[in-house]
Amino acid sequence: MDLEFLQSMDIQILVGVAVAALAIVVGAVYLFASTKSKGCLDPENFKEFKLVKRQQLSHNVAKFTFELPTPTSALGLPIGQHISCRGKDSQGEEVIKPYTPTTLDSDVGYFELVIKMYPQGRMSHHFRELRVGDYLAVKGPKGRFRYQPGEVRAFGMIAGGSGITPMFQVARAILENPKDTTNVHLIYANVTYEDILLKEELDSLAAKYPGRVKVYYVLNQPPEVWDGGVGFVSKEMIQTHCPAPAPDIRVLRCGPPPMNKAMTGHLDALGYSPDMQFQF
């Protein structure tokens, strides 16, 4: 009887040890997953990421794909926020500029930047010289934009030039979330047709989510055959292509400073209160 009792005790001890070991393993996995979910960015210190692909989209625009530490790593960038990139200008002096990736944290293992390189741009020089195998110093996340799915009925978006990147990121996050029913109304202004960034991707979103995405292109110098807007974005264009002022809508804007100033004036005149507006 005593022997049976001791054997029973041994089994109980072994089971207890096994349960404890399992709990430790589960806890470690949870801790690892929690740590991993925070992403690869550091808000205080620059970290370097390797360029693994460079795709030239036009004479002055390229898509840069950077590798994250593991195939399952996420960058760790909240929707609508941006990163700071550090490089050197043509004089060899350090320059830091903000950019918004076109990828989301659901795009694991890598992140992408679509960059328009201007002739006199200091950071543009750095990207022109960047080759596959080189590293880019990045810090973040940065930005004041905060978004919770479904917090508004619709977003109006007014973008100019490379200001399309935060709009594209927000639109993708909304539309790829099956629980988010927010609608997107985008006005996108450029000088020429060739200047339109991410056009194929934007048109694809509009085709894939009919009724939820509307894209209106505006050009200063349109081609002969053109069914979009012509000139600068006007109050009439905003009235026609953006949701009307209401407590449950918000208008986002991102573009060159003169455009942002003009759009603020238009939106104020049309009755959009300050809390209905956000500038990236």
Instruction: Please tell me the distance from the alpha carbon of residue 6 to that of residue 96, in angstroms, as a whole number.
Output: 70
* Architecture per CATH, 47-142: Beta Barrel (2.40)
Can 82 be counted among the known catalytic residues?
yes
Instruction: Please tell me the distance from the alpha carbon of residue 273 to that of residue 111, in angstroms, as a whole number.
Output: 35
Taking each continuous run of H as one helix and of E as one strand, the counts in the chain are: 6, 12
When pLDDT is cut at 50, 70 and 90, the band that residue 58 belongs to is confident
245 is known to lie in a ligand binding site: no
pLDDT of 132 above 60 = yes
pLDDT of 46 above 70 = yes
Instruction: Please tell me the distance from the alpha carbon of residue 28 to that of residue 31, in angstroms, as a whole number.
Output: 5
pLDDT confidence of residue 188? 98
pLDDT confidence of residue 32? 37
Can 182 be counted among the known catalytic residues?
no
pLDDT confidence of residue 30? 37
- Rounded mean pLDDT, 155-165: 96
230 is known to lie in a ligand binding site: no
CATH topology for 154-279?
Rossmann fold (3.40.50)
Can 100 be counted among the known catalytic residues?
yes
| Closest to 77 in 3D by CA, of 118, 115, 119, 49 | 49
pLDDT confidence of residue 218? 98
Domain-wise residue ranges, the chain: 47-142, 154-279
pLDDT tens digits for range 173-206: 999 999 999 999 999 999 999 999 999 999 999 9
170 is known to lie in a ligand binding site: no
Least confident of 20-29, 93-102, 201-210, 255-264: 20-29
Report the Cα 194 to chain-centroid distance in Å.
22
| Closest to 255 in 3D by CA, of 166, 182, 194 | 166
What single DSSP character describes residue 38? Answer: T
243 is known to lie in a ligand binding site: no
Q: Scan for tokens 């085709």, then name that residue.
A: 207
193 is known to lie in a ligand binding site: no
When pLDDT is cut at 50, 70 and 90, the band that residue 8 belongs to is low
| Closest to 161 in 3D by CA, of 127, 185, 189 | 189
pLDDT of 114 above 60 = yes
47 is known to lie in a ligand binding site: no
C-alpha pair distances (Å), 143 with each of 48, 56, 172 = 20, 28, 18
pLDDT confidence of residue 126? 97
Q: Which of 100, 102, 103, 182 is catalytic?
A: 100
Contact 54, 63 (CB under 8 A): yes
pLDDT tens digits for range 59-68: 899 999 999 9
- Rounded mean pLDDT, 224-247: 97
Q: Which of 40, 85, 99, 125 is catalytic?
A: 99
Q: Which of 110, 254, 266, 272 is catalytic?
A: 254
